[in-house]
Structure 1
Amino acid sequence: MVFEALWRLTVRLGVIGYGLQLLEMIREQRRYRKLAFGEDSLVLGVELGGTTCVAALARLSDPTKILERYEVPTVDPDTTLGQIVEWAWEKRGKIKAIGIAAFGPVQLEKSKPDYGCIMKSTPKVAFRGADVVGKFKDFDVPMHFETDVNAPAYGELTHGGHEDSSSIVYVTVGTGVGIGAIANGRPVHGLMHMEGGHYNPRRKAGDDYPGWSDVHPDSLESMISSRAIAERAKVDISELKDLADDNPVWETIAYYMAEMCATITYLISPHVIVLGGGIMNREILLPMIREKTTEILNGYVNVPRVTEEMDQYICRSVFSSNSGIVGALSLGSLALEEARDGN
């Protein structure tokens, strides 16, 4: 309506050139709205995991409601991604955008020749240098490529009920530890992307566990991942689900996660910290993490969200085990926005 009023005004004033520009802007906005919110417009989401890759289709207007889902084992790029492309290809006429969330490290800078690739430093040998984005180029639609933690962070921010927030940090704790961040509504990139699982938290007094990683033995991942918890409790990883709630290992894990949350608060100051991953299925952890984070902050961050609303500041993912694929699907709207804006 605003654009149309301006168009009429410019015609009356005789500024035809400017009026034509405005008319094209009106048409472009209408094309975008039709593309993004058409009833038949679909988004393809792809989540690359270490053992399983998930693909899903949803309407662009609501990426949280999965219409179709497809899972394949993570074998090698040609096999795994080829199966996903083949599965989605019959819907290509309705797919208007693609969102991809991948394990890393990955190249996210579009100006680089290896944009859309998994870097050669990844521990997953078969995927070193794999051109993930290139596998989907024949769909000829806007794509957004992200890390497997930035994607769920974006999904949480845009569809997780955090309407009053423009920044969020998402943490997943399971086989590994990953940290993703959204600031001012956009995924955080820099030199590459965040690798928060490799930072060294302050060691808990009396904790003599050496860590399992040869590269970064004192890293967060080495101290609290599922392997670390199993080794601390002297059980097999498969037995973690049966570990009693009163086992002292959970208090130790809560301490390290609180150290992480306090560090995130100091360094990034997000509106929300969302905790996900298999380990967060342990119900007793979240209250302990909140309590210990409050103790560590010790009143220094004196804002209501921390002092009075800790249950809203540090929370569990609303999408549970679907957080990754919902995040990938949510990237579809971002891909369209970037294409519209020429980014």
Structure 2
Amino acid sequence: MHSPSKANVIAALEAGGTKFNCALLDTDLNLIAQAAFETTTPAHTLAAVRDFFYQSVATNNAELIAMGIASFGPVDLIPGSPTYGFITNTPKPDWSNTDICGYFARELSVPITFETDVNGAAWGEKVAGAARDLSDFIYVTVGTGIGAGIVVNNQLVRGIRHPEVGHMLMPRDQILDDYAGCCPFHLGCLEGLASGKSIESRWGVSGKFLRANHPAWLVEAQYLALMCANLTQLLAPQKIILGGGVMEQPQLMQMIRDYFLVYMNGYGPAAVLEQTADYIVKTGLNGMAGILGIAELALAQLAQERF
């Protein structure tokens, strides 16, 4: 039962392949408490997140009214499906067929809003980031894996599942680049060739330990530029926003833009070709895009259900 003496709060979870970012926010999206937990096994990680929210709500004498989950995937976003709210056939070991939405619905007893991690981050960019005034844009995260949230006409794009930009197949010179790829499903898809996991597999060390002029970044920039060119020709967004741990390399963004122009070869709108620095941009939300986006989506769903 709701207590009028307690402040209403939202639980926001950005479930990633490397870590689970958790936050408790008020209904104005102000941050109250925050924590991160390593993505190990479902039993261990989900329990740690549950306990964080239990403790944070109690410590702040608050009333939890809803939860938003933005999860790595693939996930089932179709209400009424037998596996709605599940992480499905993911490459992440131990996590296939995990009912993440059902777990928190049972444990926290509040309405759950469920989205992909990249959809949550894309919506966060619209709420408070680089896409605040845009109706059509793409947010791409380049981290352990690669994924994209796509917004068209102010709506998140969903089809028979959800877009899997990270698994687009990439053209490549197999003589100059003989690395097979690390994706267990496709090997040489974008994620298999350009994710953080692929960098470590290809070069034998995490990208954060590679020097700025290491040849890894030349390879990385080429694949990400090809991605941007493909997305531009397919969807014609107003902006492409790049985030994730791999994009923390300061030299990488300009390299991507330069190769993008090479691949476009003059075929595209002037706003893209002449103002590439305003078209392909880095997120400025410092890791908070997913939290803000999924919290806003949870609030919107709760208001719709109450109406």
Of all paired residues, the percent bearing the same amino acid is: 36
Once the two structures are superposed, the pairs formed by residues 135-284 of structure 1 within 5 Å of their partners are 135-137=103-105, 139-204=108-173, 206-232=176-202, 234-237=203-206, 240-284=207-251
- Deviation of 1:54 after TM superposition, in Å, equals 2.2
CA distance in structure 2 between the partners assigned to 1:61 and 1:80 by the alignment: 28
- Deviation of 1:231 after TM superposition, in Å, equals 4.7
Conserved 8 A contact 1:98-1:331? no
Conserved 8 A contact 1:60-1:332? no
The aligned amino acid for 1:193 is: H
- Deviation of 1:308 after TM superposition, in Å, equals 3.3
SS in 1 for 2:34: strand
Conserved 8 A contact 1:157-1:167? no
Residue aligning to 2:275: 309
Question: Unaligned 5+ residue runs, structure 2?
Answer: none
SS in 1 for 2:296: helix
SS in 2 for 1:113: coil
- Deviation of 1:105 after TM superposition, in Å, equals 1.4
CA distance in structure 1 between the partners assigned to 2:232 and 2:303 by the alignment: 29
SS in 2 for 1:149: helix
Residue aligning to 1:321: 287
- Deviation of 1:335 after TM superposition, in Å, equals 2.2
Change (3 A) 1:312 1:97: farther
- Deviation of 1:68 after TM superposition, in Å, equals 0.1
- Deviation of 1:114 after TM superposition, in Å, equals 2.0
- Deviation of 1:303 after TM superposition, in Å, equals 4.0
Change (3 A) 1:77 1:252: closer
- Deviation of 1:143 after TM superposition, in Å, equals 2.5
- Deviation of 1:277 after TM superposition, in Å, equals 1.1
Match of 1:128 among 65, 90, 96: 96
SS in 1 for 2:23: strand
The aligned amino acid for 1:320 is: N
The aligned amino acid for 1:217 is: L
TM-score under structure 1 length normalisation: 0.78
Task: Tell me the alpha carbon deviations over residues 41-63 of structure 1, each in whole angstroms, 9 at most, x when there is no partner.
Answer: 3221012223432221112223x
- Deviation of 1:219 after TM superposition, in Å, equals 0.7
The aligned amino acid for 1:229 is: I
More helix by share: 1
Match of 2:22 among 48, 55, 68: 55
- Deviation of 1:71 after TM superposition, in Å, equals 2.8
Residue aligning to 1:18: none
- Deviation of 1:109 after TM superposition, in Å, equals 0.5
Residue aligning to 1:74: 39
- Deviation of 1:340 after TM superposition, in Å, equals 4.7
Aligned residues between the structures: 297
Conserved 8 A contact 2:166-2:189? yes
Decide which structure has the larger Cα Rg and report it.
Answer: 1
Conserved 8 A contact 1:100-1:331? no
Change (3 A) 1:130 1:57: same
Change (3 A) 1:319 1:124: same
CA distance in structure 2 between the partners assigned to 1:52 and 1:276 by the alignment: 15
TM-score under structure 2 length normalisation: 0.86
CA distance in structure 2 between the partners assigned to 1:230 and 1:123 by the alignment: 16
Task: Tell me the alpha carbon deviations over residues 170-202 of structure 1, each in whole angstroms, 9 at most, x when there is no partner.
Answer: 111122212221222222111111111111122
CA distance in structure 1 between the partners assigned to 2:304 and 2:241 by the alignment: 26
SS in 2 for 1:69: strand
Task: Tell me the alpha carbon deviations over residues 117-163 of structure 1, each in whole angstroms, 9 at most, x when there is no partner.
Answer: 122x2234533322222223254544310111111011112211423
The aligned amino acid for 1:147 is: T
SS in 1 for 2:148: strand
CA distance in structure 1 between the partners assigned to 2:212 and 2:256 by the alignment: 14
Change (3 A) 1:267 1:334: farther
Question: Unaligned 5+ residue runs, structure 1?
Answer: 1-34
Change (3 A) 1:328 1:203: same
Task: Tell me the alpha carbon deviations over residues 200-255 of structure 1, each in whole angstroms, 9 at most, x when there is no partner.
Answer: 122158333322335312111111122433454x4422xx3342222232122111
Change (3 A) 1:323 1:289: same
